């Protein structure tokens, strides 16, 4: 619609400019014509008067001359548009004048003197008493041609301006009328003939591209002048249909071959072949798309979170319903009355249902219990968990709220598949299982599981474990987390634990515990060419040094960002030859800003950056460029490809997908991954440079080793790493998890 008004505005502007210049020309011509007519009338009247007054100048003098001239003036003074007449002697003295002539005209004898001196008539327009008058002066002669005096004729010229104003007024009315008619006509043509055709064409193409419509355009004539384009799309559709058929056939053939890579197409075929139309429902706190209003324009962003990265890939491949907290300030505006919206925005493939939480619920459930109690409890970050009863009560309330919403969605669904994500909804599995025993429920815990001793400090540990054991399958990243969970259950609850099957039976229900190392999508070695002009590179940050390092994290105290910066400081202190030759770019997406601990940590990071930069910087160079801003995957990919190394210093992490995103981006098989040995990813990515993030010297030495690593060694390491990520990608993770949940494994 905006484009329609832009076109109409352009047409209106063009028509207005053309009409203005044509009217200006017409007005100028009319003014010239009226002026000439006025001059001609003045000349004719002057000639008539001269025949009457010139004899009086010759034959009379003194009082008799004044009387004779005044009589003549009075005789002609009352004519139409004639303001008055004045007669002067050859010295410029006034002899006779009409009553009512302004003194400013009568006493201004310059035009009279000029006419007699040049012996030619003079004329001019004069404003007097608020009116425009035309003053015409003609010299008087005797029979010998000598100048006797001058005749001044003053005519009302205001009608010329009135006529011109009336012309402009009429032209404006005609122009407005034309603009209205043109605008309505253009709007109708564009809206109902062009725009509707374009929308229909785009929608058809979109449906074909998404695979929701397989038929081609049968009647291209209905697309009027877009018919040639529709015919061309017919040919493209045929080719696309053939390509899809080939891909589906290849994916079906791969289903039985475990050694072939998993792709989005293969996962679709798996869902289609084995689940036979059963729906998948995902529950998480974080939503995959957040809509915010920025400068009166609604824009969306994809959160920088491993869970979103992984589950989004699965939902795009499989479809279904994703229930999450609507946290964006424009989320309600973009959702329907049920809080639902089709996503991704450019190419919808599944439904996102947003749950609205009050500020108190967000504070108690997300900030309070999830991030200040469970999160530090699970991670060895030496941060003391904070347990508040009021947070626990709200946590239970919000878990019930999400479970109730999910139960409404699966009310008429037979054997629904429910995938609950992370520590925010530990109680949801048992609520779902209690109300829908036929539902197959999987819980994936995206964080480490602590030792039994560490978990035992939680006041509500029994309720949390019982809630989790409502799931049919609980997935962790690595086997160690599974072992910790089984030991915790054995210590806290009366249950039957089968260490051979890795299962727990509690209250007659059996739950399988399995490791499912989560990953990213890497299905080929050729990445799409970036064509977004807004994509950032190191140069866009003003970085032009010889050696480049990159860190990408949420601004989270478990990511070891302070230790990372101190490692860089050690590197520059130990190897000063790299001062001015090395730069490190830290991308830090804001995280959990409502929690006091995170606010304090963000401030500490900023102070540390300033301290280290002040210590080493000279000229326009500084070692650390700190960018506290969310960056999309499209923006990060070129940075991954340009950097010499990616540095990950997590103090404890379930997996860490940034490491795998970096590997996925390096289709040149160059670059070095420096990875904390306390991440889950370190268990499989052995070709990275592994180090202890608590040892600052190790971080510095790892940077030195990465910078000096020969390209041949980089190639061998990166090729192996890419092979691992390709073999166990996010689609394989999803397939194995869903297989286990649905008893297909």
pTM for the full predicted model: 0.70
709 φ/ψ angles, rounded to the nearest 5 degrees: -65, 130
**Res 177: pLDDT:** 87
Residues 692, 592 within the same domain: yes
Could you tell me the mean pLDDT of each successive run of 10 residues in the chain, 745 residues long? Answer: 74 84 88 88 86 81 79 73 85 85 82 89 85 89 86 87 87 86 81 72 69 56 60 65 57 56 84 85 95 89 78 85 95 95 90 97 96 93 91 98 97 94 97 96 96 96 98 96 97 94 95 95 52 70 94 93 97 97 94 80 95 94 94 90 97 94 95 97 96 97 98 97 92 92 77
Of the residues 337, 371, 397, the one at which a domain ends = 397
Burial of 7 (0-12, 13-18, 19+ CB in 10 A): middle
Residues 142, 228 within the same domain: no
Residues 246, 365 within the same domain: no
> Does residue 646 form part of some domain?
yes
**Res 335: pLDDT:** 96
716 φ/ψ angles, rounded to the nearest 5 degrees: -60, -45
Token pair belonging to 363: 């504070």
156 φ/ψ angles, rounded to the nearest 5 degrees: -70, 125
Q: Which domain range does residue 374 map to?
A: 357-397
* Beta carbons of 282 and 421 less than 8 angstroms apart: yes
Angle at 566 between CA 562 and CA 571, to 5 degrees: 145
> Does residue 64 form part of some domain?
yes
Can you give the CATH number for the domain in which 111 is found?
3.30.450.20
Name the DSSP letter for residue 362.
Answer: I
Residues 141, 265 within the same domain: no
- Coil/strand/helix, residue 29: helix
Residues 153, 235 within the same domain: no
For 427-459, write each residue's pLDDT tens digit. Answer: 999 999 999 999 999 999 999 999 999 999 999
> Does residue 449 form part of some domain?
no
> Does residue 262 form part of some domain?
yes
Residues 581, 667 within the same domain: yes
Residues 257, 363 within the same domain: no
Cβ–Cβ contacts within 10 Å for residue 232, how many? 12
Residues 115, 234 within the same domain: no
Residues 550, 673 within the same domain: yes
Angle at 629 between CA 477 and CA 700, to 5 degrees: 65
Residues 694, 619 within the same domain: yes
Angle at 160 between CA 156 and CA 164, to 5 degrees: 160
> Does residue 697 form part of some domain?
yes
* Beta carbons of 417 and 279 less than 8 angstroms apart: yes
* Beta carbons of 366 and 424 less than 8 angstroms apart: yes
Residues 594, 667 within the same domain: yes
Q: What is the DSSP string of 552-571?
A: EEES-GGG-HHHHHHHHHHH
**Res 250: pLDDT:** 56
Name residue 58's beta-bridge partners.
none
Of the residues 349, 365, 397, the one at which a domain ends = 397
How far apart CA 436 and CA 56 sit, in angstroms, is 125
> Does residue 167 form part of some domain?
no
Token pair belonging to 12: 């209106």
> Does residue 447 form part of some domain?
no
- Coil/strand/helix, residue 213: coil
Residues 555, 680 within the same domain: yes
| Residues with Cβ within 8 Å of residue 143, at least 6 apart in sequence | 58
> Does residue 349 form part of some domain?
no
Sheet of 672-676, strand order = 624-627, 582-589, 547-554, 645-648, 672-676, 689-691
* Beta carbons of 718 and 725 less than 8 angstroms apart: no
Please tell me the total count of domains within the chain.
Answer: 4
Of the residues 162, 197, 231, the one at which a domain ends = 162
- Outline where 286-414 has alpha helix (H): 306-318, 331-334, 359-361, 375-378, 389-409
**Res 365: pLDDT:** 97
Can you give the CATH number for the domain in which 714 is found?
3.40.50.2000
| Residues with Cβ within 8 Å of residue 88, at least 6 apart in sequence | 94, 95, 109, 112, 149, 150, 151, 152
In 248-289, at which residue ranges do the beta strands (DSSP E only) sit? 280-283
């Amino acid at each position: 619609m905006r484009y329609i008004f832009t076109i109409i505005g352009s047409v209106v502007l063009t028509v207005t400019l053309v009409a203005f210049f044509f009217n200006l020309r017409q007005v100028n011509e009319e003014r010239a014509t009226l002026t000439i007519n006025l001059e001609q009338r003045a000349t004719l009247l002057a000639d008539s008067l001269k025949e009457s007054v010139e004899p009086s100048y010759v034959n009379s003098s003194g009082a008799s001359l004044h009387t004779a001239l005044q009589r003549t003036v009075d005789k002609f003074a009352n004519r139409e548009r004639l303001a008055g007449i004045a007669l002067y002697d050859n010295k410029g003295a006034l002899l006779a004048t009409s009553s009512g002539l302004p003194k400013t005209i009568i006493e201004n004898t310059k035009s009279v003197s000029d006419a007699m001196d040049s012996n030619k008539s003079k004329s001019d327009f004069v404003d007097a008493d608020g009116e425009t008058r035309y003053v015409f002066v003609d010299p008087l002669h005797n029979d010998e041609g000598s100048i006797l005096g001058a005749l001044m004729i003053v005519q009302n010229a205001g009608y010329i301006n009135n006529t011109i104003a009336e012309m402009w007024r009429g032209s404006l009315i005609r122009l407005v009328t034309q603009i209205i008619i043109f605008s309505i006509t253009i709007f109708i043509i564009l809206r109902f003939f062009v725009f509707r055709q374009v929308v229909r064409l785009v929608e058809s193409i979109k449906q074909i591209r998404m695979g929701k419509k397989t038929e081609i355009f049968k009647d291209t004539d209905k697309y009027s002048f877009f018919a040639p384009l529709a015919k061309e799309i017919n040919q493209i559709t045929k080719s696309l249909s053939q390509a899809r058929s080939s891909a589906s056939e290849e994916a079906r053939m791969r289903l039985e071959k475990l050694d072939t890579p998993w792709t989005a197409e293969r996962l679709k075929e798996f869902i289609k072949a084995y689940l036979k139309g059963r729906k998948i429902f995902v529950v998480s706190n974080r939503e995959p798309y957040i809509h915010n209003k920025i400068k009166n324009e609604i824009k969306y962003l994809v959160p920088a979170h491993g869970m979103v990265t992984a589950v989004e890939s699965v939902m795009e491949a499989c479809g279904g319903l994703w229930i999450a907290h609507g946290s964006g300030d424009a989320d309600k505006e973009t959702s329907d009355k049920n809080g639902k919206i089709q996503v991704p925005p450019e190419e919808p493939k599944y439904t996102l249902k947003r749950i609205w939480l009050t500020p108190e619920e967000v504070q108690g459930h997300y900030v309070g219990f999830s991030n200040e109690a469970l999160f530090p409890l699970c991670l060895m970050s030496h941060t003391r968990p904070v347990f508040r009863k009021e947070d626990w009560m709200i946590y239970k309330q919000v878990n019930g709220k999400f479970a109730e919403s999910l139960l409404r969605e699966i009310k008429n669904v037979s054997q629904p598949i429910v995938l609950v994500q992370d520590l925010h909804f530990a109680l949801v599995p048992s609520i779902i299982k209690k109300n829908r025993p036929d539902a197959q429920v999987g819980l994936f815990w995206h964080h480490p599981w602590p030792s039994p001793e560490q978990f035992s400090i939680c006041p509500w540990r029994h309720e949390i474990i019982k809630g989790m054991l409502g799931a049919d399958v609980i997935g962790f990243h690595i086997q160690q987390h599974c072992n910790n969970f089984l030991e915790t259950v054995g210590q806290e609850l009366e249950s039957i634990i089968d260490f051979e099957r890795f299962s727990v039976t509690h209250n007659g229900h059996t739950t399988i515990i399995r490791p499912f190392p989560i990953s990213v999508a890497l299905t080929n070695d050729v990445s799409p060419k970036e064509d977004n002009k807004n994509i950032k590179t190191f140069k866009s940050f003003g970085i032009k040094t010889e050696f480049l390092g990159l860190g990408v994290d949420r601004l989270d105290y478990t990511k070891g960002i302070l230790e990372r910066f101190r490692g860089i400081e050690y590197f520059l202190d130990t190897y000063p030859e790299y001062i001015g030759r090395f730069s490190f770019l830290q991308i830090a997406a804001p995280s959990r800003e409502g929690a006091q601990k995170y606010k304090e940590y963000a401030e500490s990071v900023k102070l540390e950056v300033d301290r280290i930069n002040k210590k080493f910087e000279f000229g326009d160079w500084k070692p650390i460029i700190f960018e506290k801003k969310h960056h999309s995957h499209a923006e990060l990919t070129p940075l991954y490809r340009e950097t010499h190394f990616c540095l990950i210093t997590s103090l404890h992490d379930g997996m860490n997908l940034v490491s795998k995103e970096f590997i996925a981006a390096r289709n040149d098989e160059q670059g070095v991954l420096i990875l904390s040995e306390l991440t889950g990813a370190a268990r499989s990515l052995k070709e990275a440079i592994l180090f202890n993030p608590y040892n600052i010297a190790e971080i510095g030495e790892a940077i030195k080793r990465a910078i000096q690593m020969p390209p041949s060694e980089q190639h061998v390491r990166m090729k192996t790493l890419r092979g691992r990520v390709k073999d166990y990608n996010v689609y394989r993770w999803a397939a194995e998890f869903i297989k286990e949940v649905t008893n297909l494994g």
